Structure 1
Amino acid sequence: MNDTLRQQLLKAGVVDKKQADKVAQEARKEKKQARKKGKKAAPETPEAKRLAEEARKERAERDRALNRQREADKQQRSAAAQVEDILKQHALSMRDGDRPYNFTYGTVIRKVEVTVEQHKQLAQGRLAVVEHRKRFHLVPATVVPKLLERDASLFVALAEPSPDELDDAYKDFPIPDDLDW
């Protein structure tokens, strides 16, 4: 019943308050049942069951793909955070540098200022230059594999040991003078 009609009937004394409330309650129940019936699907047929099962499988596959993507994103963020941590722990300061160290960055020759000792270690291959977020960092060569394991796209300038250093490994084995070639 409409509230204004209800009020008019109550004033006229045609119905009492209990009767009006009961009619309103029944009207609400009917509306609720009509909504439920409207939402209910037709009786289950084998075709409807098959379509519902296919839809459920598609949703499950889509959810799995979304979870895999989220997991990959999470691992990528974790690896980036680990790279940041490694660089914070192992990067050496280049602020006091007074000697230029040149290296190739793609097709361009770049230069960083390092100390004399750092320059020597860079030339020997004990230190490496790593580019991360458009900044160059000086790190020990032993750290480079850890960084590349987490992010293979990092740029690394690492000098190869010179042949003289390789010969140092054989200094205990002299070459005899009487060899005939």
Structure 2
Amino acid sequence: SAEGEELLRKLPGYLAQPGVTALVFNFVDQLIHGRSEHAILHEVARDASALRSLTRTWFEESALMRALREAERRSVPVLLTTDHGSIHCNTPATVFAKRDATANLRYKFGEDLRAERPDTALLVDDLPSWGLPQMHLGVRLLLALSDHFFVYPTKLREYQGRYRGAFLHGGVTPEEMIVPVALLTPRSAG
């Protein structure tokens, strides 16, 4: 992409500076989100295996791979990580909320939130006790468990059909919350 080429053009200057340089590559996140919206992406990334294969194909020819090679050539160590994982969601969980609730499929903030089946979600009434900022009175947090995704009773069939099989994030599963961290040290750096 033009954006990737521009990054690669500027990369030597970034790597020559002292300190930390942070680069964000959003391909996988965009692919995962786009998969629910575009039939062609859903077709080529139908399951976890196909998603990994497509990601690998992208990675091998990506600006990210070329940036890693440039860092290696310059003996610059790289800390590689991600901000979250995702989970393949297949099970709808009906939630009830006022119109002020957030739209995310794996978590909701809002007043009078509740899951039809309490075993599908973690309900947080006291946000500060979880290290979260206090919101206005009555705001709760609902976090999806397992492979559940939230649907409203008013759009039940539409959401079930559209999001069943989607890769989502925002809930409280190890797949979403435990992130890999790798320190890549060039061989020439020791």
TM (norm. structure 2) is 0.18
Higher relative contact order (CA 8 A, sep 6+): 2
- The structure richer in helix per residue is 1
Question: Which one has the largest radius of gyration?
Answer: 1
TM (norm. structure 1) is 0.19
- The structure richer in strand per residue is 2
